[in-house]
């Protein structure tokens, strides 16, 4: 079973990944959780390149770095774990590329589809939980997390986080489009609900789509 979590920064993905891992592990499943970009030595190096504020990267460069990181992760970690029968939960997968590099940065969506197929070797999540939140609400969460006042210093944020509200609005729109066009794979959740309630919804949905979980 391959599960992905998506949503803009601060939506609550990592919170839900942690809860779901605990739940499934307690039920006796072997669960591997991974975050994108990262998860292998090479992919973690790419992660720091991508998230450091001081580097300027072109949209295509950004796309190819994210995709290189994903290919490393799929081939070396995700596919072998799935073959062994593990549950794999990823904190972001190729929908992030479509939402951020496509809707956010404006890269061609058809081209992204092709690149995503290459970087994943055609692997798709069985189910994708999309945590939907407005960029304003997400930003408030991020700021309270970092204990910095809302009149922020830009250098407190990583390179993606400092892309601005309009950018995140486009990314959110992208996710909404994706969720609408792939209703079978996507489950949309209101990320403003209580974290425990969201977790319950996720557990119920998983029990429905996969009787073993
Ligand atoms: N349902 C929720 N209600 C209120 N606060 C939440 C909820 N879920 C998570 N949070 C808080 O919001 C902040 C962001 O959550 P989290 O780190 O899980 O988001 P994320 O989607 O993983 O963000 P990023 O993309 O930046 O990694 C954290 O401080 C977390 O405790
Ligand atoms: Mg996170």
In the reported structure, the alpha carbon of residue 12 is separated from the centroid of ligand 2 by a whole-number distance in angstroms of 7
Asked whether residue 146 is domain-assigned, the answer is yes
Residues 6+ apart with CB under 8 A from 31: 21, 24, 25, 86, 87, 88, 89
Asked whether residue 213 is domain-assigned, the answer is no
Tell me how far apart the alpha carbons of residues 145 and 162 are, in angstroms, rounded to a whole number: 15
| Residue 143 or 118, more confident | 118
Asked whether residue 105 is domain-assigned, the answer is yes
State residue 164's pLDDT score.
83
Residue 71's φ and ψ, nearest 5 degrees, are -60, -40
Q: Is residue 13 in contact with ligand 1, taking CB distance under 6 Å?
A: yes
Asked whether residue 128 is domain-assigned, the answer is yes
CATH code of the domain in which 116 resides = 3.40.50.300
Q: Is residue 196 in contact with ligand 1, taking CB distance under 6 Å?
A: no
Angle among Cα 136, 61, 93 to the nearest 5 degrees reads 55
Q: Is residue 160 in contact with ligand 1, taking CB distance under 6 Å?
A: no
State residue 145's pLDDT score.
73
* C-alpha distances in Å from residue 109, one per residue of 62, 65, 74, 105, 168: 15, 17, 22, 11, 17
Protein residue closest via CA to atom 19 of ligand 1: 12
| Residue 108 or 153, more confident | 108
| Mean pLDDT for the stretch of residues 201-208 | 96
41-55 burial: b if 16+ Cβ within 10 Å, else e? eebeebbebbeeeee
Protein residue closest via CA to atom 31 of ligand 1: 15
Q: Which atom of ligand 1 is nearest to the CA of 198?
A: 1
Of 154, 152, 150, 153, which Cα lies nearest the Cα of 140?
A: 150
Asked whether residue 106 is domain-assigned, the answer is yes
Asked whether residue 115 is domain-assigned, the answer is yes
In the reported structure, the alpha carbon of residue 194 is separated from the centroid of ligand 1 by a whole-number distance in angstroms of 11
Task: List pLDDT tens digits, range 62-98.
Answer: 999 999 999 999 999 999 999 999 999 999 999 999 9
Average pLDDT value over all residues in the chain: 92
In the reported structure, the alpha carbon of residue 8 is separated from the centroid of ligand 1 by a whole-number distance in angstroms of 10
In the reported structure, the alpha carbon of residue 164 is separated from the centroid of ligand 1 by a whole-number distance in angstroms of 18
Task: List pLDDT tens digits, range 135-162.
Answer: 999 988 877 776 655 554 555 566 556 6
Confidence of residue 24 (pLDDT cuts 50, 70, 90): very high
Q: Is residue 14 in contact with ligand 1, taking CB distance under 6 Å?
A: yes
Is residue 208 within a helix (H) or strand (E), and if so which, with residue range? helix 195-209
| Mean pLDDT for the stretch of residues 105-134 | 98
Q: Which atom of ligand 1 is nearest to the CA of 17?
A: 18
Confidence of residue 121 (pLDDT cuts 50, 70, 90): very high
State residue 213's pLDDT score.
84
Residue 150 is classified by DSSP as S
DSSP codes joined into one string, 97-129: IIIIIIIIT---HHHHHHHHHHHHTT---SEEE
Instruction: Please count the structural domains in the chain.
Output: 1
Residue range(s) defining the domain that contains residue 123: 2-208
pLDDT at 212 over 90: no
Tell me how far apart the alpha carbons of residues 177 and 207 are, in angstroms, rounded to a whole number: 26
Residue 185 is classified by DSSP as T
State residue 55's pLDDT score.
79
């Amino acid at each position: 079973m391959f599960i992905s979590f998506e949503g803009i920064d601060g939506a609550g993905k990592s919170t839900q990944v942690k809860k779901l891992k605990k739940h499934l592990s307690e039920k006796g499943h072997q669960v591997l959780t991974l975050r994108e970009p990262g998860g292998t030595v090479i992919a973690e190096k790419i992660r720091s390149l991508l998230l450091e504020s001081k580097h300027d990267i072109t949209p295509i460069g950004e796309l190819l770095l994210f995709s290189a990181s994903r290919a490393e992760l799929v081939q070396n970690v995700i596919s072998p774990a799935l073959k062994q029968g593990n549950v794999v939960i990823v904190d972001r997968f190729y929908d992030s590329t479509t939402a951020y590099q496509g809707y956010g940065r404006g890269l061609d969506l058809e081209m992204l589809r092709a690149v995503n197929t290459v970087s994943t070797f055609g692997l798709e999540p069985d189910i994708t939980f999309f945590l939907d939140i407005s960029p304003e609400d997400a930003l408030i969460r991020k700021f309270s997390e970092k204990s910095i006042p809302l009149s922020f210093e830009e250098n407190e944020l990583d390179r993606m986080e400092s892309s601005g509200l309009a950018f995140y609005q486009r990314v959110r729109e992208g996710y909404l489009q994706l969720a609408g066009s792939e209703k079978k794979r996507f489950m949309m959740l209101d990320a403003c609900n209580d974290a425990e309630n969201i977790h319950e919804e996720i557990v119920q949905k998983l029990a429905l789509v996969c009787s073993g979980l």
